[in-house]
Structure 1
Amino acid sequence: MLRYAIIGLVLSVWTTFGQICTDANIKTVARIVFGEARGEPMRGQLAVAYTIVNRKNHQAYPNTINDVVYQKRTNGREYQYDTLHMTAHTQAWNDAQRRNTQEYKNAIKASGDALCNRQRDPTRCATDYCAFDPCRSTRSNKWWRATNKLKIGNHYFVCRVAASG
């Protein structure tokens, strides 16, 4: 019986991470990690990468990596990840990628570690983060309760659970 439970667990982990552990997804997530957490310790970059994985697996967010990354704010004009609508960030990413800088390599590593489940999620469940606290991303609202607040590097991370009542 234990053998079947272990096999089920392995298949579940592979289903969650095996399908998202692709070069294209790693590069997509690395673009966010680079723009949002460049210069942070590797644990902080890993945490930012895991917020994307956690969003993909959370009922309030889209269920693919690309849809999570490119989701727009309610105004329909800006991406949820600020780095995507900042020209200077895009230029820095393109330059770092072309020159294969250490910052680029770190973003790729953190993204691969999260998407391929090579390292554990240091946030345990975070879908949201902010460079200061409190902010809209780290506060509860009428739909979701922010829990497990944790500071890693210069970011505050929170998990989201449905608000009751």
Structure 2
Amino acid sequence: MKRKMRNRRQPYEVNWTLRSLFAAGVMSLCAVASAMSVTVNANRAEAVRQEKLALEKEAELVADFANYLAAETAATREALDGPRLKPAKSTSEIVSAMDPIAALASFDFTELNAAKIDADERRCLAQAIYYEARSEPRIGQLAVADVVLNRVASRLYPNSICEVVFQGSERRTGCQFSFTCDGSMQARLNKRKWSGSEELAGAILAGLRSPVSRNATHYHANYVTPYWSASLTPTATIGMHKFYRFPSKRAVAAAPAAM
């Protein structure tokens, strides 16, 4: 009789053991879930912080550009409100007072070449703006143009806009601006955006330039990470592009191949 009672108690003892193991397992799962939740919240907080920093940088750049435009507007208004000079002579008055033969003999035909060069430079800058940043806001287009002009001013690059923009385009690899060798220029132009790019290029060459890229000589789209970005100093993030400059003015190495 005693043996039968002992056998009856055994299942209950096994059940208590299983319950203890199950409870321990549940507690372990809760601990893991809690740790995962803490990690997710930390990552989310870091992402929010990075986004806030990016917005602050963008706002700072926009403020710089707004101040620049305000100063230009004030200077223009001051010039318009200043003392007026006497009216200029009309073209017909000037022509009638000149000797056509003497004027033709003394005309400097190099001025025509200079005008052509200016038109070519404007077109090359407009192409860089259009193909690299036509979908960007105006400040993003100004930043791309600023990079082109910073390269023209640098001794590491050619000294004209067209030479800078089309540097390396004669090779299958090594073009500095990808649109010059990837077939982008074969596509039909968006007339409205191309006209806007030409107007902006003309305005920049006429003096409406703001250093929004902060002396950058390189940039890339924010969805790629080119090998050369780690060796340069970040200067700004504007729209879909990240901008960089050489770490110091002493940099003499050749520029990275492509942007």
How many Å separate the matches in 2 of 1:156 and 1:44? 10
- For 1:56, the equivalent position in structure 2 comes to 152
- The runs of at least 4 aligned residues of structure 1 exceeding 6 Å deviation read none
1:163–1:22 CA distance, 2 compared to 1 (3 A): closer
Runs of 5+ in structure 1 lacking a partner?
A: 1-18, 141-145
Q: Partner of 1:34: helix, strand, or coil?
A: helix
Between the two proteins, the alignment pairs up a number of residues equal to: 134
Corresponding letter in the other structure for 1:156: K
**Is 1:135–2:226 an aligned residue pair?**
yes
Rounded to whole Å, the distance in 1 between the matches of 2:228 and 2:180 is: 17
Alignment of 1:12-161 (within 5 A): 22-72=118-168, 76-78=171-173, 79-87=175-183, 89-92=184-187, 94-96=188-190, 101-132=191-222, 134-140=225-231, 146-160=232-246, 161=248
Q: Secondary structure at the match of 1:150?
A: strand
CA gap of 1:135–1:114, structure 2 versus 1, over 3 A, is farther
- C-alpha separation in 1, matches of 2:228 and 2:206: 26
**TM-score by structure 2 length?**
0.46
Counterparts in 2 of 1:83 and 1:45: CA distance versus 1, 3 Å: same
- Using the alignment, how far apart are the partners of 1:122 and 1:67 within structure 2? 22
Instruction: Output the CA distance in 1 between the equivalents of 2:208 and 2:179.
Output: 25
2:243, 2:201 → 1: CA distance? 17
Q: Where does the alignment leave 5 or more consecutive residues of structure 2 unmatched?
A: 1-114, 253-259
**SS at 1:40's partner residue?**
coil
- Separation of aligned partners in 2, 1:26 and 1:54: 15
Equivalent-residue separation in structure 1 for 2:156 and 2:147 (angstroms): 13
TM-score (norm. length: structure 1): 0.69
* Conserved? CA contact 2:121–2:160, under 8 Å: no
Write 1 or 2 for the structure with the bigger share of strand: 1
- Give the fraction of aligned pairs with identical amino acids, expressed as a percent: 29
Name the structure where helix makes up a greater proportion of residues.
2
Give, in angstroms, the shift of residue 163 of structure 1. Answer: 4.6
1:35-71 C-alpha deviation (Å, 9 max, x unpaired): 1111100110111111111001112111121221111
RMSD after superposition: 2.7
Distance 1:58 1:105, change over 3 A: same
Structure 1 residues 90 and 76, CA, compared in 2 at 3 Å: closer, same or farther?
closer
Q: Is the 8 A contact 2:236 2:243 kept in 1?
A: yes
RCO comparison, higher one (Cα < 8 Å, 6+): 1
